[in-house]
Amino acid sequence: MQFEPTSIPDVVIITPTVFGDDRGFFMETYQAQRFGAAGLPFIYVQDNHSCSLKGTLRGLHYQIRQPQGKVVRVLEGEIYDVVVDLRRWSVSFSQWLGIELSAKNKKQIWIPPGFAHGFYVLGEMAEVAYKATDYYAPQWERTLLWNDPTLNIPWPIPKGQTPVISPKDMQGTLLSDIEVYEQDIK
């Protein structure tokens, strides 16, 4: 398993070692000792699994209280995964990072608590699984507007197409007006 830092401190790309042969493949997607040695949490309280159709855009979600750290991976299909740092004290506050995750490349991303998260489905469909460090708390969920002009995220939406977005996500809040994390979340 390889743990690769990114341009945003604390966000890490995880690439499992894949053992393949003519029968298929095997890989570890999580191993507590290796995660701990890489400085990542090794206790997760919830596993989530979603399926989304082509052109779906989910996010950008976060919880202002009970913030969730997440390890995200794609089981089938491919997505463009985006995280936005909402930790006001961070040197990377308001910066975003986008990465392609797919069943083919098998990469995972560690998203620390304090980040908004979302993704856009690139293929016909995508099944996404993620481990979370805290429980889902709908009363604390917030949505950062996916197309906030100050973030200027270049979502890979084909020209002339409109993404499929939930009414809740369409009503997201601009970065300038959103609740952010004012103190360290350790």
Amino acid at the residue 68: Q
DSSP letters, 33-90, are: HHHHHTT------EEEEEEEETTBEEEEEEESSS---EEEEEEESEEEEEEEE-BTTS
As a whole number of angstroms, the longest Cα–Cα distance in the chain is: 54
Q: pTM value?
A: 0.93
Residue bearing tokens 């103190």 = 183
pLDDT of residue 27: 83
pLDDT of residue 43: 87
Structure tokens that stand for 148 in this block: 């906030």
What is the phi/psi pair of residue 13, to 5°? Answer: -95, 130
- The single residue of 44, 80, 130, 181 carrying the catalytic annotation is 130
pLDDT of residue 71: 97
* Assigned superfamily of 2-20+28-177: Jelly Rolls (2.60.120.10)
Distance CA 163, CA 66 (A): 29
Question: pLDDT tens digits, residue range 110-145?
Answer: 999 999 999 999 999 999 999 999 999 999 999 999
Instruction: Identify the CA nearest to 30 among candidates 47, 7, 5.
Output: 47
Does residue 41 surpass a pLDDT of 90? Answer: no
What is the phi/psi pair of residue 38, to 5°? Answer: -85, 0
Q: Which helix (H) or strand (E) holds 32?
A: helix 32-37
60 touches 170 (CB < 8 A):
no
Mean pLDDT of the chain: 95
pLDDT of residue 186: 64
Does residue 52 surpass a pLDDT of 90? Answer: yes
Residue 43 burial (10 A CB sphere; 0-12, 13-18, 19+)? exposed
Percent of the chain with pLDDT strictly greater than 70: 99
61 is catalytic: yes
pLDDT of residue 183: 82
Does residue 169 surpass a pLDDT of 70? Answer: yes
Q: 3-state DSSP call for residue 170? A: helix
- The single residue of 44, 61, 80, 120 carrying the catalytic annotation is 61
Write the DSSP symbol of residue 167: H
124 vs 185, residue with greater confidence: 124
Question: pLDDT tens digits, residue range 73-118?
Answer: 999 999 999 999 999 999 999 999 999 999 999 999 999 999 999 9
Q: Where are the domains of the chain?
A: 2-20+28-177
